[in-house]
Amino acid sequence: MERGQFSVSAAPTLSKKLLAWFDENRRDLPWRHTRDPYSIWVSEVMLQQTRVAVVLDRYRPFLDCFPTVSALARAAEANVLALWSGLGYYRRARMLHKAAQVVVAECDGQMPTTAASLRKLPGVGAYTSAAIASIAYGEAVAVVDGNVERVVQRIAGLGSESATGQTQLDRQIKELAENLLDPDRPGDHNQAMMELGATICLPRNPLCLQCPVSQFCETKGEHPTPQRARMTRQDAAYALALRAGATETEILLAQRRLGDSHARHVGASHPSRSPDSRAGAVDGRPSRHHAGELRSDHSQCTRARCRHIDPPIGASQLGAPQRIGPASAHRPGAQSAPPRQTGRILKTAVP
């Protein structure tokens, strides 16, 4: 993990070439047409571990429904989760909602203006705070995400196939990213670094001949990285309770409690439940009807489209009633599991 021959004295020239390339080749994305810190915050949270194409479909509808941080803070969590549907990783939406409530309650509805103060909000870490502060307020703080990390490592000739020493490597990357930062255009520089990593300096088969800063690169190709751990299979189960009436069927779909295997896999905190909304109870009375277990291999799922982590949705969003049969294995081409409910009863006409 030895540092290459790159000299930070070349940083101003590198940044100038990078920004010239970015000005000419930047993708036309809606969040790049604003300096509103709230809108930038929403985009940065949505883009975490989610493809840009997926975010493009959901960014504007979300802001149309919650145009300000105050509007988001006033919204019911279920409505926020419904607008987040399809993005996955629903803990992000819950933390965004919680942080908006903190902004309204403790900051009089005004977004914090520095990276340090933004980091005090729930769910806002070093990356998100730096992105908001640099793009919205022009604070000279470097953003380090996966794309930037890869670009910096290759420019400086850093990297190792060993998993040891990664903490030291992270410090080197952060330090070099700060040294490369253009103090006059920090927001554009950060976006340019991320754009370069997303479109040119790819994880596999980087397009070095098209790179605007290839003359500064010590690697010129893929850099050594530790081998990733193999993905493991983990089962997920859904509990379904039915109670037939004379003219209608009552259905309770319950999420597993936090700490169960599926909750740990999703990594999301679940809404609080009342004593009468526990799995296997309908209107506070135990039910004897349960569906079988749904087994799923999440390693075969596209993260942004994985139906296993859809949030609870309201009865009005379910559409036409369906006959729900036994749960089946989740595999490509198989019917997705029915939407899950938490502590609410859905009533549908009996076919």
**Catalytic residue annotation:** 44
What CA–CA distance (Å, rounded) separates 275 from 251? 18
Q: Name which of 79, 30, 72 is nearest 55 in CA terms.
A: 30
Residue 84 sits at the vertex; the CA angle it makes with 348 and 138, to the nearest 5 degrees, is 165
Joined tokens for residue 308: 């296993």
What CA–CA distance (Å, rounded) separates 169 from 192? 22
Tell me phi and psi for residue 240, to 5 degrees. -130, 125
Cβ(92)–Cβ(55) below 8 Å: no
Tell me how crowded residue 67 is: count the other CB atoms within 10 A of its CB. Answer: 13
What CA–CA distance (Å, rounded) separates 266 from 234? 11
Q: Name which of 185, 155, 195, 152 is nearest 171 in CA terms.
A: 152
95, amino acid identity: M
What CA–CA distance (Å, rounded) separates 100 from 199? 32
Tell me how crowded residue 151 is: count the other CB atoms within 10 A of its CB. Answer: 27
Tell me phi and psi for residue 203, to 5 degrees. -60, -40
| 168-to-83, 164, 171, 173, 177 alpha-carbon distances in Å | 40, 9, 5, 9, 14
3-state class (DSSP) for residue 258: strand
Residues in the chain: 351
